[in-house]
Amino acid sequence: MTAPANAPIVVAIDGSETTTAAAVWAVGEALRRHAPLLVFTAYGLEDASFGGKAYPPSDWLAVKQAEAEGWLRRTRETLDAAVPGLRISTEATDRGPVPALLDASERARILVVGEPTGPLLGLVSGSPAVDLAAKAHCPVAVVRGHETIDGPVVVGVDGSALSDAAIGWAFEEASLRNTRLVALHTWYDSDLSQTRFGSVMLPDENHQETGRRLLVQRLTGWQEKYPDVPVERLVEQDKPRHRLLALSSDAQLVVVGSRGRGGFTGLVLGSTSQALLHHAQCPVMVVRSER
């Protein structure tokens, strides 16, 4: 699926401080990409199948609608004051947040959500119905921590097709931000305390060389497309979440594919994603499509 040329940056808000921070971050993306910004909220129940359209009660929906419209109005006022002239639109729906945002992602360039601590927590950290980051039709940026202004964009590389998609987005972000790219490949995803014959397992030079070749292969075409982006290649023996978390402390953004192989398998639902979404020290972008 290809987003329209004028596709907006869509940011989900729920009145919390974390989604306000996400809206401010989304402004930066919109400005860098010369894209419009859509501030979006969904105030309905996640599962409104009560056997008829009389439920949820209309008075309950009216209260929720008024609350949602207040969130949108205040957020827009804040953003208009900060960046006069930015193309900002707002939208509220009485649908549940997850299905509403999945639909919104079909017309978005990037879907931006706040740190998973408020009412929208289930959107990125494991709703029983759907995992937004695994099913969205565009990249999902989770805004948490802080951006190091002169820090790099970091991308996890494991050789999969979705990893390649993440590389493309990471190069674009680095170019738009006028910063360098750090490409990380981890070749050993086991407990480093494990021993073999009573001694600590040592790095395998063959794996190191294989990792270096993989990075050259996966990055060369993108470096030709983005010659303005300096690239640092890292091949390390470690769990991917350990290194990505460490690198996030001095980064502007960490970019990962959602269904890679090897060290990044099960990113959205597994330990790597949970670590990033809950402990990364900068925003995280999860890419699952070629868009």
Q: How many Å apart are CA 254 and CA 286, to the nearest integer?
A: 9
pLDDT band at 263 (very low <50, low <70, confident <90, very high): very low
The pLDDT value given to residue 208: 85
Q: How many Å apart are CA 151 and CA 149, to the nearest integer?
A: 6
C-alpha radius of gyration, the chain, whole number: 20
pLDDT in tens, 98-120: 889 989 999 999 999 987 665 55
pLDDT in tens, 266-282: 444 446 666 787 789 99
Q: How many Å apart are CA 254 and CA 244, to the nearest integer?
A: 8
Q: What average pLDDT does this structure show over 262-268?
A: 42
The pLDDT value given to residue 68: 94
Letter for the amino acid at 46? Answer: E
Whether the predicted pLDDT of 218 surpasses 60? yes
The pLDDT value given to residue 126: 45
Q: What average pLDDT does this structure show over 229-243?
A: 92
More confident residue, 159 or 19: 19
Q: What average pLDDT does this structure show over 61-84?
A: 93
Whether the predicted pLDDT of 189 surpasses 70? no
Q: What average pLDDT does this structure show over 23-28?
A: 96
Q: Do residues 138 and 37 make contact, with C-beta atoms less than 8 angstroms apart?
A: no
Q: Do residues 86 and 80 make contact, with C-beta atoms less than 8 angstroms apart?
A: yes
Mean pLDDT of all residues belonging to the chain? 82
The pLDDT value given to residue 96: 85
The pLDDT value given to residue 226: 98
Q: What average pLDDT does this structure show over 20-40?
A: 95
Two tokens, residue 179: 């910063």
Identify the CATH number of the domain defined by range 9-143: 3.40.50.620
The pLDDT value given to residue 210: 87
Q: Do residues 133 and 258 make contact, with C-beta atoms less than 8 angstroms apart?
A: yes
Q: Do domains 9-143 and 153-287 have the same CATH topology?
A: yes
Each domain of the chain, given as residue ranges in start order, spans 9-143, 153-287
Whether the predicted pLDDT of 236 surpasses 50? yes
The pLDDT value given to residue 167: 95
- Out of 50-54, 251-255, 275-279, the most confident range is 251-255
The pLDDT value given to residue 132: 73
Identify the CATH number of the domain defined by range 153-287: 3.40.50.12370
Would strands 181-186 and 153-156 be described as parallel, antiparallel, or unpaired? Answer: parallel
More confident residue, 119 or 176: 176
Pick the closest to residue 37 from 1, 72, 2 (CA basis). Answer: 72
